[in-house]
Structure 1
Amino acid sequence: MPTSTDSDQLSALLRATAAGDRVAFEALYARTSAKLFGVCLRILGQPGEAEEALQDAYLAVWRKAERFDAALASPITWLAMVARNKAIDRLRADRVGRASTAIDLQAELADENPNAAALAEADAEGRRLRRCIDELPNEQRNAVRTAFFEGCTYEELAARSGHPLGTVKSWIRRGLLRLKACLER
């Protein structure tokens, strides 16, 4: 259970976030993301969906931190409510049949304190991934980058590019297959 000091510190981080302080937002995320992920996971039951809901929750916190009122709720209660609402929104969207198919990318969580060997390995893997992405044909490269680095759905990519949905899905599928083959070499 959070102590009064924890609550005061989280309140201060929320006030700083409301003022646009990115460092405070990062600190808020570091201190609360595990708990909020648990809230999302309990509601959604799938880690990938819970991660998406958690991301939506923190985007909402960044945009609406000024709405936090310590007189109405503790900071962790307010944050949990935001996460819960985003998870329920995602659950409802799935129940009514989501119009767009989200592209799921499971990212590995980085160690908070990576050692030099881990940093060197991550850098080498990053270079290898960039090299493999650069080897893709232009349409596949652009589709994969936009989907995974900007978080666009297939439908959004099709609308942006002016190409049919099936074409965009094919580009991404073929691009991912080529990336896999390249990374396995």
Structure 2
Amino acid sequence: MNERNDAVEGDTQPHRGRSSRKEEDGVDVLLTRTAAGDEQAFAGVYDALAPQVMGLAFRVLRDQAQAEEVTQDVMVEVWRAADRFRPERGTARNWVLTLAHRRAVDRVRSVVAGRARELRTGARDRDRPFDSVAEEVEQREEHRAVFRCLAQLAGHLRVPLVLAYYEGLTYAEVADALAAPAGTVKSRMRQGLRRLRECLEAGP
């Protein structure tokens, strides 16, 4: 049985390996360019790796909304800390997924600590009003909708909104982070917000 598996892998692995290696190299180059402030390169990194980050985060957290939040946190960290990537130590994919795993585990610990606090205040939590619970559900649904619509935007519109929405940066701070003129960033954000609003109003 083992010999058969080895033979099958031997027949197919070289072609898949060459393709995978080429893709990995491409993302490595994009991340290196991202470290130099290349916004379009970051959009490429985002498109290539965000789905994998999302998958890993969901496997750790088992919660769609929290996995989406972790994914955005990780991708913002990739943009801000891309200069820490060292190609000689491994691929961009592995570097980003390491960040994702760390963030997801930190979120699990935070959730566990939060649940422990809730248990310590048991009686008060059991008496929470319906409106408070409904508000939490509504906020989670809103986060999921925003994540879905952001993913549909073109990279040059998505990146400024990710920095503003998840990092709370102003127009000027986003412009500084992207090394772009404030007027250009403001125009992109307005266009991105308009499309984001249209997507949210259209629904799933």
TM-score (normalizing by structure 2) = 0.51
Given the alignment of the two structures, is residue 55 of structure 1 paired with residue 72 of structure 2, yes or no? yes
Compute the displacement of 1:8 (Å). Answer: 1.2
Distance across 1 between alignment mates of 2:108 and 2:47: 25
Find the residue that maps to 2:89 and give its secondary structure: coil
Flag the structure with larger Rg.
2
**Residue 41 of structure 1: aligned partner:** 58
Distance across 2 between alignment mates of 1:80 and 1:73: 11
| Aligned partners of 2:60 and 2:104 also within 8 Å | yes
Query: Which of 54, 60, 72 does residue 89 from structure 2 map onto?
Result: 72
* RMSD value, Cα: 2.9
**Residue 133 of structure 2: aligned partner:** none
Counterpart AA for 2:72: Q
TM-score (normalizing by structure 1) = 0.55
Classify 1:36/1:151 alpha carbon distance in 2 versus 1 (closer, same or farther; 3 Å): closer
Classify 1:95/1:12 alpha carbon distance in 2 versus 1 (closer, same or farther; 3 Å): same
**Which protein has the bigger helix share?**
2
Counterpart AA for 1:68: F
Distance across 2 between alignment mates of 1:11 and 1:150: 27
| Aligned partners of 2:85 and 2:92 also within 8 Å | yes
**Residue 145 of structure 2: aligned partner:** 107
Identity %: 29
Distance across 1 between alignment mates of 2:114 and 2:152: 37
Q: Deviations over 1:93-149 (max 9, x none)?
A: 1111189xx843221624859xxxxxxxxxxxxxxxxxxxxxxxxxxxxxxxxxxx8
Classify 1:66/1:95 alpha carbon distance in 2 versus 1 (closer, same or farther; 3 Å): same
Given the alignment of the two structures, is residue 13 of structure 1 paired with residue 30 of structure 2, yes or no? yes
Find the residue that maps to 1:20 and give its secondary structure: coil
Find the residue that maps to 1:97 and give its secondary structure: helix
Structure 1 unpaired stretches of 5+: 114-148, 153-182
Compute the displacement of 1:151 (Å). Answer: 5.5
| Aligned partners of 2:72 and 2:166 also within 8 Å | no
Compute the displacement of 1:43 (Å). Answer: 0.3
Counterpart AA for 1:76: R
